[in-house]
């Protein structure tokens, strides 16, 4: 396949895949495959999230992060390695870095009635009671959209359309509410500190609800950083490292980052809500035989999704 150097990420309509129109579905799969083999990101509309829910969720998230630090720390359980509840400022570090990112965040996993025994229970902030309702509603919608995206990916890979369904039905997926907090005195932070240093996501795919400010960038194949923008009715969906491993780098987990704002805007907040779609821990990430060729020899050691997640949490400084 000829490499495409996108100047912006492609925009697709998920309704083309789900409408029942065979030609529209085929075209969606082809365009998605092209994008994921080249830049690893797409913008998607008709994903199921309403403007009203998105607004309500962001308002509840902003209310939580406006709480005093000592209140938020009630919801940080370090024994959970950041997998549920609050993760405090600067605690997460990108792989290979010693400086923490300029962010704090909150993690919610599968609803308690759908989780497996090895996942921890969710933790809910009592100071913001509506946080739970809006979070669980968004989690369910993004999970369903993610299943459809994975079905399109499975078709592109020559697998059964439902190949991923049971692997993600009770998967260790996480909705992360992020606050990139204001920096009132930039001279007091490490010189290399950024909102989110360059990284690849751990999971199969990430579905990102619109962020509240600019700053997200993706590293193109030629090394150039380009901004990730989406219209208000779109979400951004990108390939994660687990899918990259499974497909032997046929589908690309592209390095991305969140850069600091201009100095005059360092004192402002940025909010973002990605849904990290994980499979069950037992899923085998051994490279698909169809993705291993003479031109693309096997790149990765065999391991399960749970083993890979554990390895990455240690690299991020969330697990010792």
Q: Could you give all domains of the chain from N- to C-terminal order, each with its CATH number? A: 11-315 (2.60.120.330)
pLDDT by 10s per residue, the chain, length 320: 456 777 788 999 999 999 999 999 999 999 999 999 988 999 999 999 999 999 999 999 999 999 999 999 999 998 998 899 999 988 877 777 778 888 999 999 999 999 889 899 999 999 999 999 999 999 999 999 999 999 999 999 999 999 999 999 999 999 999 999 988 877 777 777 878 778 889 999 999 987 655 788 889 888 899 888 778 899 999 999 999 999 999 999 989 998 888 888 888 899 999 999 999 999 999 999 999 999 999 999 999 999 999 998 888 777 76
pTM, 2 dp: 0.93
Smallest CA-to-CA distance from 283 within 305, 298, 252 is with 305
Distance CA 141, CA 5 (A): 32
221 dihedral zone (left: phi>0; alpha: psi -120 to 50; beta): alpha
For tokens 């990101």, name the residue. Answer: 41
Q: Count the neighbouring beta carbons within 10 Å of the beta carbon of residue 37.
A: 18
Q: Count the neighbouring beta carbons within 10 Å of the beta carbon of residue 293.
A: 11
């Amino acid at each position: 396949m000829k490499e495409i150097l996108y100047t912006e990420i492609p925009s697709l309509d998920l309704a083309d895949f789900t409408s029942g129109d065979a030609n529209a579905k085929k075209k969606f799969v082809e365009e998605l495959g092209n994008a994921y083999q080249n830049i690893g990101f797409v913008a998607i509309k008709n994903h199921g999230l309403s403007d009203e829910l998105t607004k309500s969720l962001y308002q509840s998230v902003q209310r939580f992060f406006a709480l005093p630090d000592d209140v938020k720390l009630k919801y940080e359980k370090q024994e959970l390695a950041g997998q549920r509840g609050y993760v405090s400022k600067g605690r997460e570090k990108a792989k290979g870095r010693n400086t923490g990112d300029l962010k704090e965040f909150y993690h919610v996993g599968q609803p308690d009635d759908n989780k497996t025994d090895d996942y921890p229970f969710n933790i809910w902030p009592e100071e913001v009671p509506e946080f739970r309702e809006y979070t669980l509603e968004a989690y369910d919608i993004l999970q369903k959209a993610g299943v459809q995206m994975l079905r399109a990916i499975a078709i592109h890979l020559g697998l059964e359309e439902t190949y991923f369904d049971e692997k993600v039905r009770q998967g260790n997926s996480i909705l992360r509410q992020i606050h990139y907090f204001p920096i009132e005195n930039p001279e007091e932070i490490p010189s290399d500190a950024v909102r989110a240093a360059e990284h690849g996501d751990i999971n199969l795919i990430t579905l990102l609800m619109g962020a509240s400010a600019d700053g997200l960038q993706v590293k193109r194949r030629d090394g150039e950083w380009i901004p990730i923008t989406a219209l208000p009715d779109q979400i951004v969906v990108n390939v994660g490292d687990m899918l990259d491993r499974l497909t032997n780098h046929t589908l690309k987990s592209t390095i991305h980052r969140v850069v600091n704002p201009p100095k005059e805007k360092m004192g402002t907040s940025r909010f973002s809500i990605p849904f990290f779609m994980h499979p069950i821990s037992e899923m085998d990430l051994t490279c698909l035989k169809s993705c291993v060729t003479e031109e693309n020899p096997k790149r990765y050691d065999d391991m399960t999704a749970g083993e890979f997640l554990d390895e990455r949490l240690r690299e991020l400084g969330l697990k010792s």
